[in-house]
Structure 1
Amino acid sequence: MVTKVQFGIFSVGDVTMDPMTGRTPTEHERIKAMVTIALKAEEVGLDVFATGEHHNPPFVPSSPTTMLGYIAARTERLILSTATTLITTNDPVKIAEDFAMLQHLAEGRVDVMMGRGNTGPVYPWFGQDIRQGIPLAVENYALLHRLWREDVVDWEGRFRTPLQGFTSTPRPLDGVPPFVWHGSIRSPEIAEQAAYYGDGFFANNIFWPKEHFQRLIALYRRRYAHYGHGTPEQAVVGLGGQVFMRRNSQDAVREFRPYFDVAPVYGHGPSLEEFMAETPLTVGSPQQVIERTLEFRDYFGDYQRQLFLMDHAGLPLKTVLEQLDLLGEEVVPVLRAEFAKGRPAGVPDAPTHASLLAARQEAEIAPVEA
């Protein structure tokens, strides 16, 4: 069955104290929990698991391809992605090699989300200057894009040593690079970059009001069409989201409030009710999550990927797994059916390795037939 919208989860891999018990998991426990969560995602019928990349406490996923390779060996159909890969502080050559290798090991069940990162000290740790964040993202991705598409590359830029007659190995599986999403919370330059290459644009859609992301996505869609990749409606859009569910909405609010109130990312600020009113955070029943998520299409147009953040703020693993049961059994089946209703024929399906390979083969046959 072709999935027109991919549903999944993403993790930032934070190691956070559970405010209900006062206990903080070890790094080992958190890493193993992320793997368990990914396996559960496949079990309950989700399409995607994505991990962030961080190089500072209190986060553990410093080597996403290592984790995703391990998960690939233990899953059969789950698409493995990042959320995000730091295009600014990673060498594009290493990104090209690591993700091509992962592609082969996972039989193509791989894509990648590029991002600049929002932790300033990371830049000097990897020999870069945060003030060059946008130029680094632009130049490094320009090189990565070529490394995956050209067998031999000659290249010279501002931020790394030149390349002469360089071949990145292994080559992408079937000659088809991993699909690239460009992730952004606030930067129109990144929306422009995604549009220029005809790549996907992922609006994280968690901390800010919908109007902010409406502007970013609308810009991306316009520029996607400007560069000749298709109509604005054919642009490939992904969205983040945050949910916490119990069958009874009052139970969900009561249980999640202590975690929200002290969470490093949004605690000690607006109330839970204020945050839910101003951002896409949804705490309530499965039906409330369904209704809120369906509104995203009204705000942003038909889109291709929906990822939820569910394993954060110190929530215990048992609770996260219960959340995934609700998501897979009660929420996603309804969302699949509802998103399919009235979806225009010209809106593309979510990209997969198989669909990208088929498109390339079709493009190669077309000139011969003409």
Structure 2
Amino acid sequence: MHFGIFGVGDIARDPLSGHTPSEHERIKALTEYAQLAEEVGLDVFAIGEHHNRPFVPSSPTTLLGYIAARTSRILLSTSTTLITTNDPVKIAEDYAMLQHLADGRVDLMMGRGNTGPVYPWFGKDIRDGIPLAVENYALLHKLWREDVVDWEGKFRTPLQSFTSTPRPLDGIPPFVWHASIRSPEIAEQAAYYGDGFFHNNIFWPKEHVQQLVGLYRRRFEHYGHGPADQATVGLAAQLYIGKTSQDAMNEFRPFFDNSQAYGGGPSLEETKERTAVVVGSPQEVIERVLAYKELAGGAYQRQLFNVDGIGVPRATVLRQIELLGEVLPVLRKEFAADRPAHVPDAPTHASLKAAAQDTRTEETAR
């Protein structure tokens, strides 16, 4: 089971101090969060890709490459890589390069993006969002697995005898999670390839999450990748830990009420009850997160927490990461206690490399 933190790199005003961080402050803080996440024992640091204000991470590979040089263990990922507006050739080469720099500590989460104006900035039409995601990933999947690629599709110029460079480290492409909060086509895509499916369930009621994750699991089995309970599932949560439940609610409320994401909608109490906004004491947080196995349809492989953004100041984010590190041993123990032996762990470069070697050995033996 992988536990980690993720963010989208938004710039927002702190409603308590009135301070709005600069782009420079925000970018430098993200590197601190990743380093501290490794220090407290978390497994994953993920950052989104955005090209519009008020977000700063327009180049995740640049940021993650910098972080790779300052860490040694933590797995570096994205909470969105835009498969729709990026050229698949550039994704293939950028993330293979990052994979080499990080000695394999890389995977990525494919997403369509939900900001309409971004599509025409990159010469695309948001109405083609699903077809772009399907075609572009088909090409990316091929580029990472075939040394010489011939390709012709609808959305880019054809490729003839093309080789993307560098090649994936050890011939093992980075593991891919397909992220969606509402599109069954993306769950289907993840299942078809036998990739991971990540539901960012922060804003969604449990019934919706269960439906989409359940679809992915059933289709994973349909395509012959293994039993449904062996599918690779990830979930998200907005997290705030306080000394007591009431302390946590009181401390988090100003950020919630004044945020563009949550403010003006249902109350914090209602949102906490219905969605993956987890605000409470350490014990309450543990109990809420353990209950996510119901959302995931059983044992799952990755749980990411958003402790960053919506105006929460740097010092508070750092403290939240420390508190998450304190509850981490209990979460690990409890998740491991009833995990079926046949359900695989979250993929890593090492595990994928070992599996590939086993496959080659079996083929040689035949």
Q: Normalising by the residue count of structure 1, what TM-score does the alignment of the two structures yield?
A: 0.98
Matched residue type, 1:304: Q
The alpha-carbon deviation at position 342 of structure 1 amounts to 1.7
User: Distance in 2 between the 1:157 and 1:268 partners?
Assistant: 44
Q: Is the counterpart of residue 146 in structure 1 residue 142 in structure 2? A: yes
Q: Which residue of 1 aligns with 2:187?
A: 191
Q: Is the counterpart of residue 34 in structure 1 residue 30 in structure 2? A: yes
Q: Deviation per CA, 1:224-281: give whole Å up to 9, x if none.
A: 0000000001100011111101112111111111110010111111111011111110
Indicate the SS of the match to 2:203.
coil
Matched residue type, 2:8: V
Matched residue type, 1:315: V
User: Distance in 1 between the 2:211 and 2:85 partners?
Assistant: 27
Q: Is the counterpart of residue 159 in structure 1 residue 159 in structure 2? A: no
Q: Which residue of 2 aligns with 1:292?
A: 288
Q: Which residue of 1 aligns with 2:315?
A: 318
The alpha-carbon deviation at position 36 of structure 1 amounts to 0.5
Q: Which residue of 2 aligns with 1:90?
A: 86
Identity of aligned pairs, percent?
72
Matched residue type, 2:310: A
User: Distance in 1 between the 2:82 and 2:211 partners?
Assistant: 24
Structure 2 regions of 5+ residues with no counterpart?
none
1:52-63 alignment runs, 5 A limit: 52-63=48-59
Matched residue type, 2:243: R
Q: Which residue of 2 aligns with 1:246?
A: 242
Indicate the SS of the match to 2:45.
strand
User: Distance in 2 between the 1:38 and 1:184 partners?
Assistant: 24
User: Distance in 1 between the 2:285 and 2:41 partners?
Assistant: 17
User: Distance in 2 between the 1:342 and 1:102 partners?
Assistant: 35
Matched residue type, 2:100: H
Q: Which residue of 2 aligns with 1:7?
A: 3
Q: Which residue of 1 aligns with 2:218?
A: 222
Q: Normalising by the residue count of structure 2, what TM-score does the alignment of the two structures yield?
A: 0.99
Q: Which residue of 2 aligns with 1:131?
A: 127
1:110-125 alignment runs, 5 A limit: 110-125=106-121
Q: Deviation per CA, 1:289-318: give whole Å up to 9, x if none.
A: 100000001232100000000111100110
Q: Which residue of 1 aligns with 2:41?
A: 45
Q: Which moved more, 1:47-56 or 1:292-301?
A: 292-301
Indicate the SS of the match to 2:46.
strand
User: Distance in 2 between the 1:7 and 1:21 partners?
Assistant: 31
Matched residue type, 2:32: T
CA RMSD of superposed structures (Å): 0.6
User: Distance in 2 between the 1:166 and 1:314 partners?
Assistant: 45
The structure 2 residue matched to 1:255, chosen from 245, 251, 273, is: 251
Q: Deviation per CA, 1:314-359: give whole Å up to 9, x if none.
A: 0011001111111001x21111000011211110011000000000
Indicate the SS of the match to 1:206.
helix
Q: Which residue of 2 aligns with 1:306?
A: 303
User: Distance in 2 between the 1:293 and 1:43 partners?
Assistant: 22
Runs (4+) of structure 1 exceeding 2 A deviation are: none
Q: Is the counterpart of residue 172 in structure 1 residue 153 in structure 2? A: no
Matched residue type, 2:51: H
User: Distance in 1 between the 2:290 and 2:148 partners?
Assistant: 46
- Residue-pair matches, total: 365
User: Distance in 1 between the 2:161 and 2:237 partners?
Assistant: 43
User: Distance in 2 between the 1:282 and 1:172 partners?
Assistant: 37
The structure 2 residue matched to 1:351, chosen from 338, 341, 347, is: 347
Say whether the 8 Å CA contact 2:209–2:295 is kept in structure 1: no
Q: Deviation per CA, 1:156-209: give whole Å up to 9, x if none.
A: 000000000000000000000000000011110000000000000001110010
Q: Is the counterpart of residue 236 in structure 1 residue 232 in structure 2? A: yes
Q: Which residue of 1 aligns with 2:328?
A: 332
Say whether the 8 Å CA contact 2:178–2:190 is kept in structure 1: yes
The alpha-carbon deviation at position 283 of structure 1 amounts to 1.0
Matched residue type, 1:359: A
User: Distance in 2 between the 1:280 and 1:29 partners?
Assistant: 28
